[in-house]
Amino acid sequence: MLAVGSSYTGASAENGYRLWLRYDKVKDEARLKSYRSQINYFIVEGNTPTLEVARKELALGLVGLLDEPQLPWQKLQSGQGIVVAVLGQNAGIDREIKTEDAQKLRTEGYLLYKTGQKLLVIGKDDKGVLYGVFHLLRLIQTSQPLDNLHVVENPKLQRRILNHWDNLDRTVERGYAGFSIWNWHTLPDYLDPRYTDYARANASIGINGTVLTNVNANALVLRSDYLEKVKALADLFRPYNIKVYLTARFSAPIELGKLPTADPLDPAVQRWWKEKVDEIYRLMPDFGGFVVKANSEGQPGPQNYGRNHADGANLLADALAPHGGIVMWRAFVYSAEDATDRHKQAYNEFVPLDGSFRENVMVQVKNGPIDFQPREPAHPMFGVMRKTPLLMEFQITQEYLGQGTHLVYLAPMWKEVLDFEIDGKGTTVASSLIPHPSSLSAIAGVANIGNDFNWTGYHFAQANWYAFGRLAWDSDLSSEKIAEEWLRMTFSNDEKFVKTVKTIMLNSHETCVNYMTPLGLHHIMATGHHYGPGPWVGDLSRPEWNPTYYHRADEKGVGFDRTATGTNAVEQYTPAVREVFSSRKHCPEKYLLWFHHVGWTEKLASGKTLWEALCRRYHQGAADVDNMRRTWQTMEKEVDGQRFHEVDMMLQIQEKEAKWWRDACLTYFQTFSKMEIPKDLEQPAHDLEYYKSLDYPYSPGH
């Protein structure tokens, strides 16, 4: 189990530290008897560092799950057991594998077979072995039968990366689980046991990369002494098949190299980056590369020198290319100079550059065109840049989704984007990430991890870390399957518990959208910290920083007209998608106010006026949170006391804040609609001035 012998487990065994890697004895006696009859030994062939990690994990898992502390290992025994090997390393084992299955395996892939008296875990390479071992342990943890086991698995995407928005002073931008787990002061000499458990947790769900530092970058991390600290983490993570990446501050040649410029076309600047990258690879031969945020929200970039994004990305790509590194250049850009629509700017800046980037450059695109909102349509850039590989950027930390106190399971939101058809011909966003000729494919998630005992600040926030990894490995997995796996591994295999709490999780995203931003409303959170509602804010210096910019409420109606009669942002989508979003009749209601300014008295498909529909959506969201808590309270006997009560307290907070959102937003929008909230609905507890007066200057993650 996690943190054996470490101080993190403390007196309570149920503080959440073990995440989903809880190798407790299987409770189902019949299933336990079956497992024991099929496993009386195991052997892991080979001796690479990764195979050694797999061997230790399998031993740890089997000893705990089967309650068999004397289970033989390393030496082949008679009877039934587990044989773990790399494909092609054991001719006898290879003969037991179907040729067509072996031919399907790609890098990091694996097979799980039940053949004769043996359970086989066969990896295409040692990385595949590690992932296969975790898959087998997951089956046992979730009490699945092994009798007819036949699994062939390959990752859909090559690079599956966590982006930490962690600063060198250990604060975490948009972090709600304490301080950064990276203690730069004690590195490289002290390696906290938590670093190893972090690697194990990520490897168990297929994550193979980590960006250690914030996209709002600090050049200091590229200084030689800090690179030694980074090396210590890279060395520790390597056996778990996790590469380290760093954020590169574009002005580093000035700040560290004392050059007068960071112009990407300046030979001295090019030389500085080449020498810095060479230094990095001498320390870390498998270094992954750089993530760059440039010319966005005050970050320096190539546009400071009259150059474009391709010029900036190619500068770093040329330095990384000889070593096999990549550049992940973020497309999150917007500026006060663009007076039309923030929705359009990333597309306008990057699509004309398609084909101008080096082969080892990926453009990192957020799932939607604004900024990780509770619901957004898919970003119009997906499927458009045919000559440049795009990588998806999701946000696991809940910046706009209740932050650290709301139960919001994000897999349904991510699936909505991944499964979105971008051309009317069946091409989904997920499939568009895969087939680029350069073979580069990737997905990134902004981490929700901190140094709290339970890693994520809220037990149910762990599910989003888990879900990101599982979807990064296989985007075809359903939200329901992932939720069920996580519940069984984290809490209980009790069927009543799993069925009941899975329903809470699967409905939680829609519930959150309803009490925050229903019907396509967006970015109406309070500014800066983004905690709580602030649809009335309209006095900030840049128009696109104001919530009023996004909802555009007036006496006639509410919503942002992005059709041809407005900013025409719909023009950036393919014709099939454009036709749907442009049509007031056919635009899905969940995106309605994103693309249309709709009259308060206009009838929706439900027959209700927009105002009544808005009121009832807000109230439904708040009511559903009440139901979530009442349902959770029926599970008290199914969950350990500590985690039950901690979740219950969080749900109390969510109840209060859902009603706050409901009442504050409806009280504000009522000033434009001039219409009553339906009498059968609970009326706001306070007037608008009260909600405007609320102030939270020290909200976490600011």
Q: What is the per-residue pLDDT across 10-26, written as a single tens digit (0 to 9) for each?
A: 334 599 999 999 999 99
CATH of the domain at 327: 3.20.20.80
Question: How do residues 343-364 score in pLDDT, each as one tens digit?
Answer: 999 999 999 999 999 999 999 9
What lies within 8 Å, CB to CB, of 698 at 6+ separation is none
Task: Among 33-37, 617-621, 698-702, name the one with the lowest average pLDDT.
Answer: 698-702
Work out whether the CA dihedral 197, 109, 381, 427 comes out positive or negative. negative
Per-residue pLDDT band for 70 (boundaries 50, 70, 90) equals confident
Q: For residue 142, what pLDDT is reported?
A: 98
pLDDT tens per residue across span 638-656: 999 999 999 999 999 999 9
Q: Which helix (H) or strand (E) holds 161?
A: strand 159-163
569 belongs to a structural domain = no
137 and 165 both lie in a single domain: no
| Residue 539 falls in the annotated catalytic set | no
Q: What is the pLDDT of residues 506-550, one digit of tens each?
A: 999 999 999 999 999 999 999 999 999 999 999 998 899 999 999
pLDDT tens digits, 179-218? 999 999 999 999 999 999 999 999 999 999 999 999 999 9
Taking only the tens place, the pLDDT of each residue in 391-410 is 999 999 999 999 999 999 99
448, 477, 506 - which closes a domain = 477
Which residue among 67, 228, 297, 636 is the active-site one? Answer: 297
CATH number (domain holding residue 611): 3.90.1330.10
Determine the structural domain holding residue 468 and report its residue range: 159-477
Render 530-556 in DSSP notation, one character per residue.
--SB-TT---SSSGGGSHHHHH---SS
DSSP for 138-157, please give it. HHHHTT---TT-EEEE--SS
What is the token pair recorded at 447? Answer: 């981490």
pTM over 0.95: yes
Quote the pLDDT of residue 87: 97
What would the pLDDT profile of 257-269 be if each residue is shown by its tens digit? 999 999 999 999 9
Does residue 315 share a domain with residue 192? yes
Residue 702 in any domain: the answer is no
> Does residue 581 belong to any structural domain of this protein?
no
* Contact assessment for residue 701 and residue 172, using Cβ atoms and an 8 Å cutoff: yes
**Which one is catalytic: 311, 393, 399, 561?**
399
| Residue 191: DSSP 8-state | -
Residues 246 and 281 in one domain: yes
Beta bridge partners of 42: 73, 82
- For residues 125 and 177, state if they share a domain: no
CA 103 vs CA 98, 152, 223, 627: distances in Å: 9, 10, 45, 50
Confidence of residue 437 (pLDDT cuts 50, 70, 90): low
Question: Which is nearest to 368 in space by CA: 550, 160, 583, 539?
Answer: 550
**Same domain? 266 vs 400:** yes
Same domain, 43 and 118: yes
What lies within 8 Å, CB to CB, of 681 at 6+ separation is 615, 616, 619
Q: Per the domain annotation, does 230 fall within a domain?
A: yes
Torsion of Cα atoms, 377 then 381 then 382 then 384, to 10°: 140
Each residue of 558-597: pLDDT tens digit?
Answer: 999 999 999 999 999 999 999 999 999 999 999 999 999 9
Give 209's strand partners: 161, 243
CATH of the domain at 138: 3.30.379.10
- Distance between CA atoms of residues 617 and 518, nearest Å: 6
Percent of the chain exceeding pLDDT 70 equals 96
Q: Is 67 a catalytic residue?
A: no
- Which residues lie closer than 8 Å to 497 by C-beta, 6 or more apart? 487, 491, 635, 638, 639
Residue 338: active-site member: no
Segment (H or E) for 392: strand 390-395
Number of domains forming the structure of the chain: 3
Closest among 510, 554, 517, 555 to 534, alpha carbons compared: 517
Among candidate residues 96, 354, 371, 626, the one labeled active-site is 371
Which of 153, 171, 197 delimits the end of a domain? Answer: 153
Rounded Cα–Cα distance for residues 585 and 289 (Å): 46
Average the pLDDT over 238-256 and give the result. 98
Task: Give the DSSP letter of residue 19.
Answer: T
Which tokens belong to 306? 């009259």
Domain termination site, one of 449, 477, 505: 477
